[in-house]
A and B are shown apart, each in its own frame.
Chain A
């Protein structure tokens, strides 16, 4: 806390010291974040195809962007990404909230359950993707066996070759893996809520639902916002899960934008076009973050609390 009697000279001096102290960090960020970003943007303005070296590396302006925008596979992958983000993050939020509320109660063995809940999150994505892949494997997968035994299915279906059914293991795997993370974030938020508020609500005769609706939810907003931002951005950049689970198939019907970019950049070695795709992904995630912060209020940047 600054005292009112401080002189402005000292303040300036402090500011200078502060800047000197953050300068190395700023320079590092500039070097490792901004430089590659600008380089990618510059690269995206060139035709640079390492598998067609005879074409050289001419400057072509915004042509790569034009090509992306007129490419149905690009729009398809963008749609898949959006679909994946909305369904999986939505489910994660709902289930995560329920889980957090349950874990917030005092019961015996709560510590153990809290730790156990984290297991899916601790498993590397590729491993869990393969796990789910095996479970949803064609004729012999356990999911088919179960559904047939229960009479839900008359005969096994090959999940991974159906453009709609292939999404089931993908979304389930993501929900299974990331719900604990969301639950943990929300749990931390719940524990920050003053219990006296609930007591007051109870005295006023508020039902459990009203308490949840008017006490828990508003006060949980910052935590929900953090979870949403983290998870949506992650979901938007989803790569390893789908790469290992469906490979983007059947055809390209589960291909997310990150996989398409990877393909262009690292399989086909189209550095120019791939860079343009990367820049587009960056812009979209960036805008998403801005929108979240705008819509959900200034909770994060420290408004009221």
Chain B
């Protein structure tokens, strides 16, 4: 297999380059950890790693810089792990990769280390389970939130009805050009938005081995999304080509009354030099529809151990250290990332670091719902993206789109041995 050769070549080249193999007969256990080394985030991590090594003289952590772009990182990890490389020892995973890597047998179940799972938000733990085991520990959380303009309304909308009404009013009074903006281009972002509309009506995408997206709640959610665009005119058609940054630009230019986005946008839009809405917005959970509750799609980074690692104990020690409240608080105050441990939010020191009120953040994360937890998430997501986008661009009707998506997704699940009528495929 050519990609295996490439991977072997790559890892050996890196080893020759002095990054160090994990095999050491004497001396400290050397573990490698691929990280992003950018800006403040990189500096915090370096600080934390040196504290860790000072406290654990038997362990030496070697950093390896990897690309920041999720796709590239994923590809690199697949090459390494598929080639059976023993390093890197500790992996930083996107939340949707954990089941994929677990099912491939690439990462170690963490149960034997008895992690303190109850201390974390349950949705962030749930996303990292596969089979009966926990495969990764959530490091920090990303959640979808509703940004709303405090100068245009007294309180954020609790339901989509409210949102539509307030959005219409904002447009009618020429306060804003658009009501609501969200990530609606055909990419992963559309799924996160849909998960939130879907949860608002009490629907789900996957139930174990069955795809259940062709349901009454899903139909209502998708119809709501379409109506907001074409019937109510609250959502501009252009969102169907927009990703995170286009929505942020629209909102920070004062063009929209509401925006669905991740936490990263908050500090950026507080910058008065760039943003026209600095000090004029806040965040809230996404609205709910009848039959469901406010929902936040969960993203963020997880830490896992390479199954071939020669020092799993040392790797666990590092993961355990990095996910301690103290480290999470430091990360939150310097980089603004949301801690995944509930108790950290009770710490008054957190308020000084987070742009958003810790109580609000906690409330939103508690509404967190993982995207379908399955090893073939990426492929399922692609199918759903296409059908949702077709329905939203009026190439197909919502009912037809959902029915087709369900059929195709179930077929893929069955073929992978993860669906109905076949044993669960696992190593």
Interface residues of A, Cβ cutoff 8 Å to B? 39, 49-55, 57, 73, 137-139, 158, 160-163, 247-253, 263, 266-269, 271
Contacts and interface: CB of A to CB of B under 8 A. Distances in A.
B104 interface: yes
B2 A39 contact: yes
B361 interface: no
B231 interface: no
Nearest to A271: B3
A253 B393 CA distance: 11
B75 to A, nearest CB: 8
A158 B376 contact: no
Given A162-B393, A249-B185, A250-B186, A51 B238 contact: no
A268 B417 contact: no
A55 B386 CA distance: 26
B8 to A, nearest CB: 15
Nearest to A249: B186
Contact of A55 (B177, B237, B379, B417): B417
A251 B237 contact: no
B375 A52 contact: yes
Given A138-B237, A158-B237, A253-B395, 6 more contacts: A51-B375, A52-B375, A57-B1, A247-B185, A251-B386, A251-B387
B63 interface: no
A139 B238 contact: yes
B425 to A, nearest CB: 5
27 contacts: A39-B2, A49-B416, A51-B78, A51-B375, A51-B379, A54-B104, A55-B416, A73-B386, A137-B238, A138-B236, A138-B241, A139-B177, A139-B238, A161-B237, A161-B241, A161-B393, A162-B393, A247-B185, A247-B186, A249-B241, A250-B186, A250-B389, A250-B393, A251-B387, A253-B395, A268-B379, A269-B78
Nearest to B2: A39
Interface string B156-183: 0000000000000000000001000000
B250 to A, nearest CB: 9
Majority SS of interface residues in chain A? Answer: loop
B100 A51 contact: yes
A55 to B, nearest CB: 7
B82 interface: yes
Given A138-B236, A247-B186, A267-B382, A53 B241 contact: no
B237 A52 contact: no
B247 to A, nearest CB: 12
A133 to B, nearest CB: 9
Given A251-B389, A253-B395, A268-B378, A55 B186 contact: no
Interface string B315-338: 000000000000000000000000
A50 B186 contact: no
A73 B390 CA distance: 13
Contacts of A50: 3, 78, 82
A269 B382 CA distance: 13
A238 to B, nearest CB: 18
B427 interface: yes
A139 B416 CA distance: 43
A162 B240 CA distance: 10
B426 interface: yes
Contacts of A51: 78, 100, 375-376, 378-379
Contacts of A253: 395
A101 to B, nearest CB: 39
A163 B386 CA distance: 13
Contacts of A247: 185-187
Contacts of B78: 50-51, 269
Interface in B1-42: 1-3
The 3 closest A-B pairs by CB, nearest first: A138-B238, A251-B390, A250-B393
A160 B389 CA distance: 12
Contact of A268 (B382, B393, B426): B382
B45 interface: no
A138 B378 CA distance: 28
Contacts of A54: 103-105, 417, 425-427
A267 B378 contact: yes
Contacts of B100: 51
Contacts of B104: 53-54
Contacts of A267: 71, 378, 382
A137 B375 CA distance: 36
Nearest to B425: A54
Interface in B375-427: 375-376, 378-379, 382, 386-387, 389-390, 393, 395-396, 416-417, 425-427
Most buried by B among A53, A137, A139, A253: A53
B229 to A, nearest CB: 9
A50 B427 CA distance: 15
Nearest to B103: A54
A110 to B, nearest CB: 42
A73 B408 CA distance: 12
Of the candidates B82, B105, B186, B382, the one having the most CB atoms from chain A within 10 angstroms of its own CB is B186
Nearest to A252: B386
A145 B2 CA distance: 51
A269 B75 CA distance: 9
A50 B3 CA distance: 10
B82 A249 contact: no
Interface in B207-254: 236-238, 240-241
B236 A139 contact: yes
Contacts of A266: 75
Nearest to B390: A251
Nearest to A266: B75
A158 B82 contact: no
Contacts of B396: 251
Interface core residue of A50, A52, A267 (most chain B CB under 10 Å): A52
A252 B401 CA distance: 13
B376 A52 contact: yes
A163 B395 contact: yes
A266 B103 CA distance: 20
A158 B416 CA distance: 38
Nearest to A54: B425
Contacts of B177: 139
A251 B393 contact: yes
A160 B187 CA distance: 15
A241 to B, nearest CB: 16
B425 A158 contact: no
A250 B395 contact: yes
